């Protein structure tokens, strides 16, 4: 993706070690809270990068293919849904700026299913500033991989049989993707050993 006259600025931001740490933290949160989705996205994007060597990752060990910087100075986001993002992947949003931390969570990281849930924020007070840094997974990228590195139009022209098979899978794809999102019980079973859980109960008593 080309960013025109801003490309040099963005390359500098991507190379900044502090931003890299922020991006890495959000990436780790995604992996922690939704490991199955994280692995699925990573596998598909790995295939994409191998298919097109001109593509490069923003950060080497980060699964997110896209990042956006909102420089403010007073970011206000009206309620919306990001319909272009993959519905079952977590969009990472990190709030920056200079505002009252008692009223708003500065330097906080949130993960939301931005294509499914309506979201937005409220204005900051006069004299305050707010910026944001986001990472996300566009649905079109994963669809391109699923279509054997073609658009739907290209796939249909190449093979109506393959195209028809893909179209037949679409109605039930949401259920398959939903099953990859872990419940809290599944995460507890994955990360908490029986012995540590028992110790925690004993301490609470």
Of the candidates 106, 100, 153, the one whose C-alpha atom is nearest the C-alpha of residue 126 is 100
pLDDT bucket at 41, cuts 50 / 70 / 90: very high
* Structure confidence at residue 89 (pLDDT): 95
pTM for this model (two decimals) = 0.85
pLDDT bucket at 1, cuts 50 / 70 / 90: low
d(CA 70, CA 176): 34
* Structure confidence at residue 73 (pLDDT): 79
The tokens of 91 are what?
């969009």
Residue pLDDT, tens place only, 78-131 = 899 998 999 999 999 998 877 777 766 667 899 999 999 998 887 877 888 888
Beta bridge partners of 91: 112
Long-range contact set of residues 52-60: C-beta below 8 Å, sequence gap at least 24: 52/149, 58/14, 58/23, 59/14, 59/20, 59/23, 59/24, 59/27
d(CA 88, CA 116): 8
């Amino acid at each position: 993706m080309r960013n025109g006259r801003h490309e040099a600025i963005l390359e500098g931001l991507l190379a900044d070690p502090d931003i890299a740490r922020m991006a890495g933290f959000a990436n780790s949160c995604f992996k922690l809270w939704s490991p199955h989705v994280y692995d699925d996205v990573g596998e598909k994007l790995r295939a994409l990068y191998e298919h097109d060597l001109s593509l490069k990752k923003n950060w080497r060990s980060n699964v997110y293919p896209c990042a956006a910087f909102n420089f403010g100075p007073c970011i206000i986001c009206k309620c919306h849904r990001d319909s272009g993002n993959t519905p079952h992947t977590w969009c990472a949003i990190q709030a920056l700026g200079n505002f009252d931390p008692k009223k708003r969570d500065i330097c906080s990281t949130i993960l939301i299913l931005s294509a499914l849930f309506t979201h937005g924020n409220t204005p900051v007070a006069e004299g305050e500033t707010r910026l944001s840094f986001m990472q996300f997974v566009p649905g079109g990228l994963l669809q391109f991989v699923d279509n054997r590195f073609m658009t739907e139009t290209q796939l249909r022209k190449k093979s109506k049989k393959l195209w028809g098979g893909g179209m037949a899978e679409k109605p039930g794809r949401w259920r398959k993707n939903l099953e990859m999102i872990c419940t809290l019980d599944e995460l507890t079973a994955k990360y908490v050993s029986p012995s540590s859980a028992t110790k925690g109960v004993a301490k609470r008593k």
